[in-house]
Amino acid sequence: MGVNEYFYKSPIGLIRLTCESDAITGLYFYDGADPEPPDLTDAPPVIRQCADELDGYFGGTLKGFTVKTKNAGTVFQERCWRALMTIPYGQTRSYKDMAISIGAPKAVRAVGGANHRNNISIIYPCHRVIGANGQLTGYGGGLWRKEWLLEFEKGHVIKV
């Protein structure tokens, strides 16, 4: 395990968390050989905050994250990632919707590419982006996880 690498046990498998000083730099689903059981006791405060927020998210009580993140990419990718943060919990948008929302309506494939390069899944909720036909498409953690996350969120949306 790397110096700034920690594991979080979620209902859909282990999540590998990485950080630099006071910011989360990666949140990846981990399908490798099981590391030692997650122990965040000596983890940096940002990792502990992220784990606490993930507890709230998977507990159905947290709808948005406040932990500091650093998801370095191109200007275009960063625009796409900021747009991800505007998709409400329990809702979805198409790649085309996302392209329009960032003022680049013809950049549908580029939006998909930016989502693919998102290193901080769940917090930057790329799982909420679906195909124009409503079908689930591409997800680095596997389509079964994307489906699980979307169904989970729909089940925890407060109906007004």
Q: Is 29 helix (H, G, I), strand (E, B) or coil?
A: strand
User: Do 47 and 40 meet the contact criterion of CB atoms below 8 Å apart?
Assistant: yes
Rounded to an integer, what distance in angstroms lies between the CA atom of residue 68 and that of residue 51?
12
pLDDT at residue 26 in the model: 95
- Predicted confidence at residue 14, as pLDDT, reads 92
pLDDT at 41: 81
Residues of the chain with pLDDT under 50: 1-2, 160
- For 19-30, letters b (16+ CB in 10 Å) and e give beeebbbbbbbb
- Residue spans per domain, the chain: 5-58, 75-155
* Cα(123)–Cα(131) distance, integer angstroms: 20
* 3-class DSSP assignment, residue 148: helix
User: Which tens digits make up the pLDDT trace of 30-40?
Assistant: 888 777 766 77
Could you give the angle at which helices 75-84 and 108-116 cross, rounded to 10 degrees? 80
What is the pLDDT, as a whole number, of residue 1? 45
Secondary structure letter of residue 128 according to DSSP: G
User: Rounded distance, CA 109 to CA 28, Å?
Assistant: 22
Q: What is the fold of 75-155?
A: Arc Repressor Mutant, subunit A (1.10.10)
Model pLDDT, residue 137 = 81
Active site residues: 126
